[in-house]
Amino acid sequence: MRKCKLCEKEAMVFFRSHRIALCKDCIKTFVERRVERTIRSYKLMSKGERILVAVSGGKDSLVLWQILTNLGYEADGMFIDLGIPEFSEVSWEKCEKIAQKLSRKLFKVKLEDYFGTNLINIAKIERREPCAFCGMVKRYIMNQRAISEGYQVVATGHHLDDETSVLLGNVLNWQVDYLRRQGPNLEESDGFVRKVKPLALCSEDEIKSYAEASEIDHVEGSCPLSKGATSHFYKSIINQIEERMPGTKLRFYKEFLKAKKEIFMENKSVKLMPCSRCGYPTTAGICAFCRLIDRVKTRIQLFQERTQFGEEP
Ligand SMILES: [Zn+2]
Ligand SMILES: [Zn+2]
């Protein structure tokens, strides 16, 4: 039986990339300290700021919310209801439960209030996988609500596995503009609040162990609409490499963040202009969010004209 490296009690986990065995209590301390260090090293936020955590009901965002609260940050929650039958309702309940436990405010926004329909129907109308635009839509809504409710920072539960799989995809396709912006801290600029990822240096395993150790009730698995997504494939590849060479994930990401400064020294970022309709910063005249609304609404109207009232488009 392994002993906890910090207190010598019976260990519950062994984190290979850090070569450390930890007991149930010390997992929490270990992960919280790592998050605190990430916040400090990348200057993500400070104690007096108002932070809005994007919560989905999954373990990552709920763990993030609890850690920030435990560390003494002023963090409230925002849930975006995508209207996925059953999944969205259960997810909302999990968020409500932890909001009560932490005694923090929790907001809820419905996608339907923007588009007049849910994510599944938008995907049908767009003839695209939901994941192709779900991220853009969530970022838009989070940013808009953070501004209107007076928050300075939006925090998301993206962890090391998310970040490295995105990094791998960006490198494989040489997405220079995405690479330039990728990192745990996307500074505020005109029309954008600051966006931070305090779990960026914690692996999914570590977060899972934290959720178990703190008995956080959460939705199991990833979004039911994301089955077969490329990101899952990249994650499994990265984890195969990690299995053979523990510590690779963390090194891949941290060294990228260091190298980034040199690679992008000239800083030729694209010029953003306010969307002519809603004011959101965009490279096009009308932003991607507003264009999506147009397409969805046109299709719904067309469909209703054709069938009078009726089944889903
Ligand atoms: Zn211990
Ligand atoms: Zn717009």
Give the residues of the chain that fall short of pLDDT 70: 266-269, 309-313
- In angstroms and rounded to an integer, the radius of gyration of the C-alpha atoms of the chain is 20
Give the CATH number of the domain where residue 122 resides.
3.40.50.620
Is 286 in the same domain as 153? Answer: no
Is 206 in the same domain as 255? Answer: yes
Contact by Cβ (8 Å): 198, 155: yes
pLDDT digits (tens, 9 = 90+) for 56-74: 999 999 999 999 999 999 9
pTM of the model: 0.88
Is 130 in the same domain as 71? Answer: yes
| Residue numbers of the domain that contains 294 | 270-313
Q: In this structure, how many other beta carbons lie within 10 angstroms of the beta carbon of residue 93? A: 12
1 domain residue, yes or no: no
Q: What pLDDT is stored for residue 223 in this prediction?
A: 77
Q: What pLDDT is stored for residue 132 in this prediction?
A: 82
16 domain residue, yes or no: no
Q: Domain total for the chain?
A: 2
Q: What pLDDT is stored for residue 192 in this prediction?
A: 95
Distance from the alpha carbon of residue 284 to the mean position of ligand 2, in angstroms: 10
Q: What pLDDT is stored for residue 91 in this prediction?
A: 97
Q: What pLDDT is stored for residue 269 in this prediction?
A: 66
3-state secondary structure of 73: coil
Contact by Cβ (8 Å): 30, 22: yes
Is 208 in the same domain as 287? Answer: no
Distance from the alpha carbon of residue 88 to the mean position of ligand 2, in angstroms: 26
Q: What pLDDT is stored for residue 311 in this prediction?
A: 54
Q: What pLDDT is stored for residue 227 in this prediction?
A: 73
Distance from the alpha carbon of residue 42 to the mean position of ligand 1, in angstroms: 28
Is 143 in the same domain as 205? Answer: yes
Q: Rounded distance, CA 2 to CA 128, Å? A: 49
Q: What pLDDT is stored for residue 312 in this prediction?
A: 53
Is 278 in the same domain as 201? Answer: no
Is 279 in the same domain as 255? Answer: no
* CB neighbour list of residue 16: distance below 8 Å, 6 or more residues apart: 246
Distance from the alpha carbon of residue 35 to the mean position of ligand 1, in angstroms: 18
Distance from the alpha carbon of residue 274 to the mean position of ligand 2, in angstroms: 8
Q: Which residues surround ligand 2, an ion (CB under 5 A)?
A: 275, 277-278, 280, 287, 290
260 domain residue, yes or no: yes
35 domain residue, yes or no: yes
Is 173 in the same domain as 130? Answer: yes
Listed in sequence order, the DSSP H helices in 191-267 are 204-213, 230-244, 248-263
Distance from the alpha carbon of residue 146 to the mean position of ligand 2, in angstroms: 16
Distance from the alpha carbon of residue 299 to the mean position of ligand 2, in angstroms: 19
Distance from the alpha carbon of residue 23 to the mean position of ligand 1, in angstroms: 4
Distance from the alpha carbon of residue 210 to the mean position of ligand 1, in angstroms: 13
Distance from the alpha carbon of residue 293 to the mean position of ligand 2, in angstroms: 9
5 domain residue, yes or no: no
Is 261 in the same domain as 277? Answer: no
10 domain residue, yes or no: no
Q: What pLDDT is stored for residue 231 in this prediction?
A: 85
Is 66 in the same domain as 203? Answer: yes
Counting Cα atoms < 13 Å in the Cβ hemisphere of 143 gives 22
Distance from the alpha carbon of residue 312 to the mean position of ligand 2, in angstroms: 26
Is 240 in the same domain as 309? Answer: no
Ligand nearest to the CA of 287: 2
The token pair that represents 94 in the structure block: 């999990």
Is 208 in the same domain as 283? Answer: no
